[in-house]
Structure 1
Amino acid sequence: MRDKTAAVPEIFAEPVLRVRAGWMTLLFLANVALWLGIYAPLQVLLPQQAELLDAANKETVFGVVTGIGAFVALVVNPVVGLLSDRTTSRFGRRHPWTVAGAVVAAAGLLVLAEAPNAVVMTIGWCLVQAGLNGMLATLMSGMADRVPVVQRAQVGGLIGIAQMLGTVLGAVVVVVLLGLAGLPLGYAACAVIVLAGAAAFVLRTPDARLPVELRPSSRIREVLADLWVSPRRHPDFGWAWACHFMINLGNALGTLYLLFFLKDSVHYADPDTGLLIMMGLYSAALVVGAVLAGHFSDKSGNRKPYILASSAVMAVAALLLVAWQTWPVALVASPLLGVGFGTYMAVALAMLTQVLPAAQNRAKDLGVVNIANSLPQVITPLLATLILHVLGGYPGLFAASAVATLLAGVLVTRIRSVG
C-alpha cells in the first residue's frame, strides 16, 4: 500500500508551467479537425447519402444511423479515457489513443465513402464516432494534464472556438467538394484532415509516460467500478456535470430547429439564407464571448460569476423568441445566444477540470463530462418534437431552452470548491 503522506507523483501533480502558444495552436488545430470530422458528415454528407440510398425513407435512415452512432459515442468516450489513464506505453498515455482514434475515424469515413446500403453506412458512422470520441477523450485531458489553472479558461475558449470553426469549415469544405466530385471525395477529405490534425499534435507535443508501478488495478470489477463517479462522494463534480448538461440542452433546444422556425413562425422569405445569417452572428459572438471570458476569468481566478452571466444571457435570448417571433428579434437573439454560450464554454471547461475527482483518472472523468455534452444531442430531437406538438409550439420550445439554461445557473451555485 502506498504511503498516503508521500509526495504526489509528478505525472499526477497539478501543472504549474504555462503552456506556450505553439502547444495551444496544435491543440486548437487538432480540435478543429476532430469537429470537422463529426459535423461535416452530420450536416451535409450523411443526409445526402441517406437520400441517395433510400429517397422515400431518408429521414428514417438518417435518424437510425445517427442515433446508433450517438450511442456509440456515449460509451466510447469514457472507456477510452479510462484506458488512456492506465496506459504505460513508452509513447505516453494519451498520444497512442489519439492516433488510434484518428485512424479508426478515417477508416470509418472511407467505409462511408463507398457504403452501398444503410447497414454499411451505419457501420461506417459508428467507426467514425468511436474514433473521434476516443480522440476527444484524450485531447480534452490535455487541459488537465498540461494547463495550469490560471490559463485554463483561455485554453477552454480556444477549444470552444475550435468546435464552432470545425463545424463551419466542415460545411464549406464538403459543399465545395460535393460540387466537384461527389460524396466519396468529401468523405476522403474529412479523413485526411482528421489524420493531419492528430498527427501534427502527437508529433509536436510531449506526452508523459505512466510508470508501470503507478498504473491502477486492471481487475475487471475495479475497472468497471471506476467508470462510475459518485455524486455523493464528489458533489462538486456532480453539480458541475449537471450544469454542463443543462446548458448544452438549452443550447440544443435553442438552435436545432431554427430553419423550421424561420420558415413556419417567422415566415422569412428565404429561410436557408436567414439561417446562415443567424448562425454567422451566433458564431462571431461565440468567438468574442469565449476570448473575453477566457481572458478575464483567468485574470480574476473566478469561474461561477461568468457561468451565471452566460446562463442569464442565453435565457434572455430564448425568452425574446418566446415573446416575439419576428426577423428583427431573431437577429438580436442569435448573437446573444452565441456570446452566452461562448462565455460558458471558455469558463466551464476550466471549472470542470478543477473539480475532477482524481488526478490518475483525468481522461476517464473528462469522458464522463463529455457525456453531458453528447447526451443532449441524443434526446433533444425527441424532447423538441414533444414540445412542438404538445406544449405550445415554438414559444414552448424556446421557453424550455430558457428554463434549461436558468437551471444551469442554479446548479452552478451549489459548487463549493470553485469561486
Structure 2
Amino acid sequence: MSRPAAPEALTEPTERAGRGWTAALSLANGAIWVGWYGPLQILLALQAAELAPPGTAKESVLAWVTGAGAVVSMVANPLFGALSDRTASRFGRRTPWILAGVLGGAGALVLLAGAGTVAGMALGWCLVQLTLNAAFAAITAAVPDRVPHGRRGAVGGWLGAAQILGVVAGTGLATAAGGVVAGYLACAGFTVLGALPYVLLHRDPALPAGRRPARALLAGFRISPRRHPDLAWAWLTRFLINLGNALALLYLLYYLRDVLHRPDPDGGVLVLTAVNAVTLLGTVVVAGFWSDRIGRRQPFVLGAGALMTVATGLLAGWQTWPGALCAAALLGVGFGVFTSVDFALMTQVLPAAADRGKDLGIINIANALPQVAAPVLAAPIVQHLGGYRVLYGVAAGIGLLGALLVRRIRGVA
C-alpha cells in the first residue's frame, strides 16, 4: 500500500516561481525595510533628541531604545517563523502573517509617532520590531516554500536589491516628510501599500488542519549542531561575516572626524554610504544569477568574505579619504555577493521543509546579533586596545575567519 503524498506546503518545490511572484515578494520585502530604516536612519535620532530628559545624552537614549528593539527582533523572528510553519489557513502558511505583520507594524509606527516619553518611544519601537519581524520571517520562508534550489540565488539577489532600495526609500521618506510625525506616517503607509500586491495576488500552499501541533512549538527550537552540522557552520559563517561588517561600519562617523579629520564627517558618511549602496546593487542580483547558473555557492561566499576583509584592511592600513572610498566600494561589492548567495546557501541547509520559517528565523539571528555584539567589542578596542587600526584589523580577521568556515559545509558546493 503506497503512502499518501505529502502536502504541497511540505515538499521541495520543483516549478520555477514566476516573475510576478518574485517582484511582488521583493516589493513586500523592501516595504518592510522602509518601515525599519526610516526610523533607524533619521526619525529615532530626532525623537531621542526631543525626548531625552535633562542631563541624559540623546546618544544614550537612542542606544537604549535601539538595543531593546534588537533584542525583541532576535526573539520575534524565529518565534513568528515557527508560528507560520504551523498556520493551517486557506490562505497558506505565510500570507496571513505578512498581512498581520505589516498592518501591526504600521499601527506601531503610528503609535511611535505619538510617543511623548522615552518609555513610550521604546515601547513603540519594540512593537515595530515585533510586528515587522512577523512579516519578515514569513517573507523569508516563502522563498524555500516556492523556489527550487537552482533559482534561489537569483531570488535572493532581488530580495537583497529590494532591501537596499527599501533602506534608501525609508531614509528619503523620513527626510522629505517634513517632521517626525509625518515621517512615521509616511513610512507606515508605504509599508502597508508595498505588501498589498503580494497579499492580494499570490497565495501560499495551504497546510492541512491539525498537521503541526502547537504543543511542539518550543521543543522545535532545539537544533543539534551534531545532527545538523551544515546548518551550524552556515550560521557561524553568516554571524562572523556580519560581525566583521558591523565592526567596520559602526564608528565610521568618528573615524572620519577623529582619524581622517574630514571637515564635514556627516557628509562624508553620506558619500561613503552612497558608494557602498551603488556597488552593492551592482553585484547583488548578478551574483545570485551567476551562482544559480554554475550551481555553486561556497566560492562566492568565500570570495565575498575575502574581498570584505581586504576592504576592512584598507581602513586600518590606508587611512586617507581615497582609502575610505575604495573600502566603501569593495565592501559594497563583497556584501552584495554575500547577501544573495549566502541566502541561497542557507535555504539549502535547512533540516526539514516543515520547519523552514523557524529555522530561517534562527538563522536570521546571525544578522541581528552582530548589531548587539559590535558595540560591546568595538568600544574597549578603540578606547584602550589600540584605536581604529586595531579595530579594523580585528574586523578583517573576524570576517576572514567567517569566510573560511564556509568550507566546512559538506552538503552544498
TM-score norm. by structure 2 comes to 0.97
Q: Alpha-carbon deviation of 1:116? A: 1.0
Letter in 2 for 1:205: H
Q: Deviations over 1:336-379 (max 9, x none)?
A: 01100000011000000000011000011111111111111112
Q: Alpha-carbon deviation of 1:6? A: 6.0
Quick one: distance in 1 between partners of 2:380 and 2:350? 35
Structure 2 equivalent of residue 202 of structure 1: 199
Structure 1 equivalent of residue 9 of structure 2: 11
Structure 2 equivalent of residue 97 of structure 1: 97
CA contact (8 A) 1:107 1:127 kept: no
Structure 2 equivalent of residue 335 of structure 1: 329
Quick one: distance in 1 between partners of 2:226 and 2:5? 27
Q: Deviations over 1:279-320 (max 9, x none)?
A: 111111111221221111000000000011001100000111
- Which of 196, 201, 226 is 1:232 aligned to? 226
Letter in 1 for 2:271: I
Quick one: distance in 1 between partners of 2:241 and 2:161? 17
- The change in CA–CA distance for 1:364 and 1:267 in structure 2 (over 3 A counts) is same
Q: Percent identity?
A: 49
Quick one: distance in 2 between partners of 1:372 and 1:310? 17
Structure 2 equivalent of residue 28 of structure 1: 26
Quick one: distance in 2 between partners of 1:331 and 1:68? 33
- The change in CA–CA distance for 1:4 and 1:351 in structure 2 (over 3 A counts) is farther
Quick one: distance in 1 between partners of 2:286 and 2:224? 34
Quick one: distance in 1 between partners of 2:39 and 2:2? 49
Structure 2 equivalent of residue 375 of structure 1: 369
Q: Alpha-carbon deviation of 1:390? A: 2.1
Quick one: distance in 2 between partners of 1:409 and 1:254? 16
Task: State how many pairs are aligned.
Answer: 411
Give 4+ residue runs of structure 1 displaced > 3 Å after superposition. Answer: 3-9
Quick one: distance in 2 between partners of 1:102 and 1:4? 43
Matched, 1:189 2:183: no
Matched, 1:167 2:167: yes
Matched, 1:71 2:35: no
Structure 2 equivalent of residue 408 of structure 1: 402
Q: Deviations over 1:64-106 (max 9, x none)?
A: 1111111111111111111110011112111111111112211
Q: Alpha-carbon deviation of 1:18? A: 1.2
> Which piece of structure 1 moves more, 49-58 or 11-20?
49-58
CA contact (8 A) 1:108 1:123 kept: no
Q: Deviations over 1:3-30 (max 9, x none)?
A: 9976543221111111121111111111
Structure 2 equivalent of residue 50 of structure 1: 48
User: 1:413 is paired with a residue of what secondary structure?
Assistant: helix
Report the RMSD for the aligned CA atoms in angstroms.
Answer: 1.4
TM-score norm. by structure 1 comes to 0.95
Quick one: distance in 1 between partners of 2:113 and 2:214? 38
Letter in 2 for 1:328: P
Quick one: distance in 2 between partners of 1:386 and 1:44? 27
Matched, 1:264 2:262: no
Quick one: distance in 1 between partners of 2:38 and 2:191? 12
Q: Deviations over 1:144-180 (max 9, x none)?
A: 01111111111111111222111111111111112xx
Quick one: distance in 1 between partners of 2:375 and 2:402? 20
Structure 2 equivalent of residue 293 of structure 1: 287
Matched, 1:384 2:378: yes
Letter in 1 for 2:132: L
Quick one: distance in 2 between partners of 1:387 and 1:31? 35
User: 1:302 is paired with a residue of what secondary structure?
Assistant: coil
Quick one: distance in 2 between partners of 1:268 and 1:61? 27
Matched, 1:217 2:248: no
Letter in 2 for 1:194: T
Q: Deviations over 1:220-279 (max 9, x none)?
A: xx3211012111110000000110111111111111211111111111122122111111
Q: How does 1:108-123 map to 2 (within 5 A)?
A: 108-123=108-123
Quick one: distance in 2 between partners of 1:157 and 1:212? 34
Matched, 1:355 2:355: no
Letter in 2 for 1:255: L
Quick one: distance in 1 between partners of 2:164 and 2:44? 19
Quick one: distance in 2 between partners of 1:337 and 1:110? 35
CA contact (8 A) 2:8 2:206 kept: no
Quick one: distance in 2 between partners of 1:381 and 1:164? 23
Structure 2 equivalent of residue 37 of structure 1: 35
User: 2:242 is paired with a residue of what secondary structure?
Assistant: helix
Quick one: distance in 1 between partners of 2:7 and 2:103? 32
Letter in 1 for 2:148: P
